[in-house]
Amino acid sequence: MHPVPSIRALHALRALTRPTISAPSKHTSAVVLLRVPAPPRAPQHRAFSTTPAHAVTLNQIRTRLGNSRKPKKVRHAVSPALSAANRPAMKGVCLKVGITKPKKPNSGQRKTAKVRLSSGRVVSAYIPGEGHNVQQHSVVLVRGGRSQDCPGVRYHLVRGAFDLVSLLFCLSSTYLGHYGVCESLGVFFGIVEE
């Protein structure tokens, strides 16, 4: 059996466990508890500064919390059939040649062609330049680029490729270079002087 502690020992233990400094009583020996002083606190107010405290905007809070803004919508492709296949141009077969009326305020008759591309998609393409020899079943080269005043026409045919002839009947040599007619061919036909 354990020995029972005396009353003096119990009072001494109680004095040690109390957080405050207790005055010694007649029953206990003088036990003094010393507290270590706490480090001085930093002042609650800001130190003096000439610059004002910056207010945070809602967008800054959102980005700092990791919820960044919604990503911008991806711009739709000007020529989707080509950009989907990741190609600058595609071969196609002409299904139908027609005339499209331009949007206001323009007027005229824009020559267009329905073309089935080698990928199987059917697109509407603009035939540039004056005069053409495109007809049904002609093999043509289709590049990207919309016609600005023709609704739904997002492709151009390339002159001088496959069955579509170059511009041979034009006045200036700058026209020839634009539509892919080489200088020697222009000289041969008498359009460009040597």
User: What's the pLDDT score for residue 17?
Assistant: 76
pLDDT in tens, 91-101: 999 999 999 99
Ordered domains of the chain (ranges, CATH): 1-35 (no CATH), 80-159 (2.40.50.140), 164-194 (no CATH)
| 166 vs 106, higher pLDDT | 106
Assess whether pLDDT exceeds 60 at residue 59.
yes
What is d(CA 13, CA 9) in angstroms, rounded to the nearest whole number?
6
Looking at the DSSP bridge assignments, the partners of residue 110 are: 100
DSSP SS3 for 115: strand
132 touches 76 (CB < 8 A): no
Place of tokens 């020559």: 111
User: What's the pLDDT score for residue 188?
Assistant: 54
Assess whether pLDDT exceeds 90 at residue 144.
yes
User: What's the pLDDT score for residue 168?
Assistant: 59
